[in-house]
A and B are shown apart, each in its own frame.
Chain A
């Protein structure tokens, strides 16, 4: 079954530093790929998604992610972290052969002043 692995349940960066959140999927056929953010006591908000076409995807709040088929990865990055970026981030996939969205376990991002 299609699975999503997020490396690192917790990531801590300093304000202004690069943010890198890792996501790998297991599938020989690339799925659709998503990144969601969840602030405390709130629902999930879509940051960005990859379906087809350009492998570098830009999203909201300055985030972007690059689809690398050879590495089965879809890592999320942001050049300079803000305090407001502190939240839980979820990578998700929709496999090529069905419509079920499957989420990774999440990565909690902490931003230090």
Chain B
């Protein structure tokens, strides 16, 4: 069964360091999402891609976060420099299209701890 892959699964870093997370969506899925899930809260959308283009990054803290999906397939989310408040689960999801009824399939997430 096709799945969304994410790596690493766990990342511990010190504040002010740079971190990067990778996501490989389900093959053929044009839409890719990055969410941040703080402990005890629901996921919040950081950025949405349609193919290689950013559709929505209104909630992405652009002073320190960046995301790219250069070839419209896999994607990388980067944080530089990391801050203590960035400790969270970072979830990637993909869907066939951007439509409201296109089911989002989630990866297992990357749990980031910033010390």
Contacts and interface: CB of A to CB of B under 8 A. Distances in A.
Contact of B101 (A32, A100, A104): A32
A56 interface: no
Contacts, number: 49
Nearest to B40: A105
Given A45-B106, A101-B104, A90 B42 contact: yes
A27 interface: no
Given A43-B4, A43-B109, A44-B106, A99 B42 contact: no
Chain A contact residues (Cβ within 8 angstroms of B): what range?
Answer: 20 to 34
Given A51-B101, A94-B100, A43 B107 contact: yes
B55 to A, nearest CB: 8
B93 to A, nearest CB: 8
Contacts of B41: 105-106
